[in-house]
């Protein structure tokens, strides 16, 4: 080997000469930062930098490489990474090593996520401590705390209009309280996830204030325009996220005398990621929160981070570059930390958030499986699993180092993301089916069991999204109001079907606060003027602790749901096939009312069967045999019940987790 050839660390990706040059230069400039460290720690940082510099460089170079000062930018960035590592508390450095030793920790079948607004769950961060035993009882290993950072007063998009990324919202507590909550949760084996709102900040954020006061530097943190020429040109191909209460994607700011890009609400200013200073600012924020003990970042609305004329300005190549670079920053400086992408986009775009092609496996660790959620609700309404089977069967395969975030409800609305092609493939009309789902879940369809509301009716496209809690959309609210015990039994089974689906599909199941006890819609959601414009508050009620107190009463609704869910979760923990490293293969069994998927594993196959109707269904034993299950056990129950004519039986909304 010629002497000039770079030494390649075993197992590391080949270091390109350009990246090598930058790496060596940057490393040489870190001496003053790293010299304070014991040599083993310094060596660890240097090894991590060497291991991940290529990821960092490959992400940043296509975006910022041609800008003057790129080399200086890289140097400033890596100094930040080194400083954060130096400042990282010892307990978190230990966690880093633990995660290095078990990099698949978030894929494990023992993982269970719980998602809540801190204020709705416990009032304040300090208040959360009082409910940790409750979370333990459910087996929670991950909590997504919502609206943690300081957001603007009044309307704030449920906390997604951030005023200060570095400071906990004063209504919830202090940074020290966030740190102590993270510490206590970590002690209990629970990882904390918080949002990092990447696409926009509040128009009252100091960066925006500076821009309004004439700072050119800060003006460049945003996308602003002197007149409507470019906004109009962009608008020609841009969709509208909130057509109802925030039409258009640009807002005129009087003080600035310019149009500002505001994809979401007028008070949320989109950040200009083509400016490397924005990247540096966000990295600083991310590392600071990581050093308080945050382990997972939910990267909010990432699809929108890069704008390109003539496109919908979503899922642009630069987004994947930037996310890969952000991921590399965490891997170098705070390696216990992982990233979850919130991208509610089509499957082909979605899969790229895990990293495909040159980004393979390097972009995010977790992404929401929006389609699984939509297909659950679709199959439930139509009592037909053919579209679900087809659409999920078409999904691209995922890398092995990721996990889907599987969920049935969250704090957002449900958009009927059913592709026309998929609908056509099973003999449906996409538009008509989406309309049917909106009618069904807002109770407008005769015979519907659901209680929900329309959100963001878009007359241009006919889209009507839906709000409502799991329990209310699944029929619990109506059944209780009608005093109909039979309907109630069915509604409870529908909820448990959903819980079993997200626990058994493979990935990290995310339970939205209250869904373990059947919290209904919040009838008083519009009373607060700061919320009354946004009906997503319908399904963001305060936790009902009196209801939760009935969770051990087997005759009550919360008791039946809580026990049912705990049973599913115990079975999940005991089923190694549910480790997320392998995909679920969707099985087209030909059965129009049962959804089937199989997970292959060295211990033998796992077959999930889910009956989406209120009638008993039977699946041919041949289906089981074809995947290698001769004498299956049901991990969820004592069955399965086999019939004399070679079928396996599923009662109303029944679910079977079969393995050998
Ligand atoms: C994400 C959040 C949603 C918010 C939007 C804009 O989609 O989940 O609640 O409105 O981003 O920040």
Element (H or E) spanning 502, and its range?
helix 485-504
Residue 273 CA to residue 263 CA, distance in Å, equals: 14
Q: Is 300 a catalytic residue?
A: yes
Confidence at residue 6, expressed as pLDDT on a 0 to 100 scale: 45
Mean pLDDT of the chain: 96
- In angstroms, rounded to a whole number, what is the distance separating the alpha carbons of residues 571 and 109? 10
- Distance (Å, whole) CA 454 – CA 535: 8
Pocket test residue of 203, 241, 264, 350 for ligand 1, highest count of atoms within 8 A of CB: 264
Our CA dihedral for 14, 15, 16, 18, rounded to 10 degrees, sits at 170
Query: Can you tell me the mean pLDDT for 320-344?
Result: 98
Mean pLDDT of 179-183: 98
The DSSP element (H or E) to which 482 belongs, if any, is: helix 476-482
| Residues contacting ligand 1 via CB (< 6 Å) | 157-158, 160, 197, 264, 300-301, 342, 411-412
Which pLDDT belongs to residue 12?
55
Average confidence (pLDDT) over 300-319: 98
Whether 330 has a pLDDT exceeding 90, the answer reads: yes
3-state secondary structure of 375: helix
The predicted structure's pLDDT at residue 2:
41
Rounded Cα gap, residues 198 and 353, in angstroms = 15
The SS3 of residue 142 is strand
Please tell me the distance from the alpha carbon of residue 609 to that of residue 587, in angstroms, as a whole number.
10
Nearest CA-CA partner of 78 in 298, 287, 294, 317:
287
* Per-residue model confidence as pLDDT tens digits over 486-533: 999 999 999 999 999 999 999 999 999 999 999 999 999 999 998 999
Nearest to 110 by CA among 135, 133, 142: 142
* Rounded distance from Cα 274 to ligand 1 centre (Å): 22
Query: How far, rounded to the nearest angstrom, does the alpha carbon of residue 403 sit from its chain's CA centroid?
Result: 10
- How many Å lie between the centroid of ligand 1 and the Cα of residue 199? 10
The residue whose CA has the least distance to atom 5 of ligand 1 is 301
Percent of the chain topping pLDDT 90: 94
Of ligand 1's listed atoms, the one at least distance from the Cα of 412 is: 9
Q: Active site includes 342? A: yes
Per residue in 202-233, pLDDT tens? 999 999 999 999 999 999 999 999 999 999 99
Q: Is a pLDDT exceeding 70 seen at residue 338?
A: yes
Catalytic residue chosen out of the listed positions 300, 451, 493, 515: 300
CA-200 nearest atom, ligand 1: 12
Phi, psi of 380 (to 5 degrees): -65, -45
Pocket test for ligand 1, best of 198, 303, 412 (most atoms within 8 A of CB): 412
CA-closest residue to ligand 1 atom 10:
157
Residue pLDDT, tens place only, 5-33: 444 555 555 678 999 999 999 999 999 99
Distance 279 CA to ligand 1 centre (A): 20
127-131, 407-411, 637-641: the lowest-pLDDT one:
637-641
> Looking at beta carbons, which pairs linking 311-320 to residues 24 or more positions away fall under 8 Å?
311/237, 312/237, 312/238, 312/239, 313/234, 313/237, 313/238, 314/239, 314/345, 314/349, 315/343, 315/345, 315/349, 315/352, 317/62, 318/62, 318/63, 318/273, 318/274, 320/352, 320/353, 320/355, 320/359, 320/363
Query: What integer pLDDT is reported at residue 9 of this predicted model?
Result: 53
Over range 596-623, report the average pLDDT: 97
pLDDT at 591 over 80: yes
pLDDT attached to residue 535: 95
Q: Give the pLDDT score at 3.
A: 40
Supply the pLDDT for residue 13.
Answer: 55
Pocket test for ligand 1, best of 160, 196, 341 (most atoms within 8 A of CB): 160
Mind listing the pLDDT tens digit for each residue in 26-79? Answer: 999 999 999 989 999 999 999 999 999 999 999 999 999 999 999 999 999 999
Q: What is the pLDDT of residue 482?
A: 97
């Amino acid at each position: 080997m010629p002497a000039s050839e770079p030494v390649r660390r075993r197992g590391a990706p080949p270091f390109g000469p350009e990246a090598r040059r930058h790496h060596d230069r940057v490393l040489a400039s870190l001496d003053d930062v790293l010299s304070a460290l014991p040599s083993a720690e310094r060596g660890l940082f240097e090894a991590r930098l060497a291991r991940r510099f290529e990821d960092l460089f490959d992400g940043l170079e296509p975006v910022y490489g041609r800008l003057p000062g790129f080399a200086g930018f890289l140097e400033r960035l890596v100094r930040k990474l080194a400083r954060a590592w130096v400042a990282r508390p010892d307990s978190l450095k230990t966690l880093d090593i633990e995660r290095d030793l078990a990099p698949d920790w978030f894929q494990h079948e023992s993982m269970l996520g719980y998602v809540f607004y801190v204020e709705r769950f416990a009032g304040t961060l300090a208040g959360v401590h009082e409910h940790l035993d409750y979370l333990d009882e459910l087996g929670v290993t991950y909590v997504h705390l919502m609206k943690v950072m300081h957001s603007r007063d009044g309307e704030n998009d449920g906390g997604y209009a951030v005023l200060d990324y570095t400071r906990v919202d004063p209504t919830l507590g202090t940074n020290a309280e966030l740190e102590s909550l993270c510490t206590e949760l970590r002690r209990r084996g629970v990882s904390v996830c918080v949002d990092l709102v990447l696409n926009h900040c509040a128009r009252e954020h100091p960066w925006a204030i500076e821009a309004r006061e004439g700072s050119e530097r800060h003006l460049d943190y945003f996308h602003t325009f002197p007149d409507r020429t470019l906004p109009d040109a962009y608008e020609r191909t841009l969709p509208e996220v909130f057509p109802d209460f925030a039409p258009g994607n640009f807002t005129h700011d009087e003080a600035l005398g310019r149009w500002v890009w505001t994809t979401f609400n007028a008070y949320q200013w989109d950040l200009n990621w083509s400016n490397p200073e924005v990247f540096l600012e966000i990295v600083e924020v991310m590392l600071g929160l990581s050093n308080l003990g945050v382990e997972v970042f939910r990267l909010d609305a990432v699809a929108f981070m890069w704008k390109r004329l003539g496109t919908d300005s979503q899922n642009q190549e630069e987004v994947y570059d930037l996310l890969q670079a952000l991921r590399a920053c965490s891997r170098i400086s705070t390696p216990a930390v992982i990233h979850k992408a919130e991208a509610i986009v089509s499957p082909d775009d979605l899969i790229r958030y895990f990293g495909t092609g040159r980004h393979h496996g390097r972009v995010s660790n977790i992404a929401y499986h929006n389609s699984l959620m939509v297909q659950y609700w679709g199959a439930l309404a139509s009592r037909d699993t053919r579209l679900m089977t087809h659409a999920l069967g078409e999904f691209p395969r995922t890398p092995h180092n990721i996990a889907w975030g599987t969920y049935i409800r969250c704090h957002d609305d449900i958009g009927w993301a059913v592709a026309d092609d998929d609908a056509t493939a099973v003999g449906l009309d996409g538009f008509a089916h989406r309309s049917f789902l909106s009618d069904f879940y807002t109770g407008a369809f005769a015979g519907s069991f659901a209680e929900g509301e329309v959100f963001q009716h878009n007359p241009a496209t006919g889209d009507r999204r839906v709000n409502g809690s799991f329990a209310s959309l699944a029929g619990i609210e109506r059944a209780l109001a009608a005093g109909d015990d039979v309907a109630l039994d069915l509604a409870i089974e529908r909820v448990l079907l959903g819980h079993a689906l997200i626990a058994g599909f493979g990935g990290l199941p995310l339970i939205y606060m209250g869904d373990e006890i059947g919290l209904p819609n919040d009838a008083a959601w519009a009373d607060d003027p700061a919320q009354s414009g946004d009906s997503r508050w319908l399904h963001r009620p305060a936790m009902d602790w009196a209801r939760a107190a009935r969770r051990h009463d087997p005759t009550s609704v919360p008791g039946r749901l809580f026990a049912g869910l705990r049973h599913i979760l115990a079975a999940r923990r005991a089923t190694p096939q549910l480790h997320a490293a392998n995909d679920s293969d969707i099985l087209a069994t030909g059965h129009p009312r049962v959804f089937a998927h199989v997970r292959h594993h060295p211990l033998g196959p796992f077959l999930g069967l889910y009956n989406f109707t209120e009638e008993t269904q039977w699946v041919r034993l041949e289906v089981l045999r074809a995947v290698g299950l001769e004498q299956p056990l049901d991990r969820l129950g004592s069955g399965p019940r086999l019939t004399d004519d070679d079928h396996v039986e599923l009662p109303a909304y029944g679910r079977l987790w079969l393995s050998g």
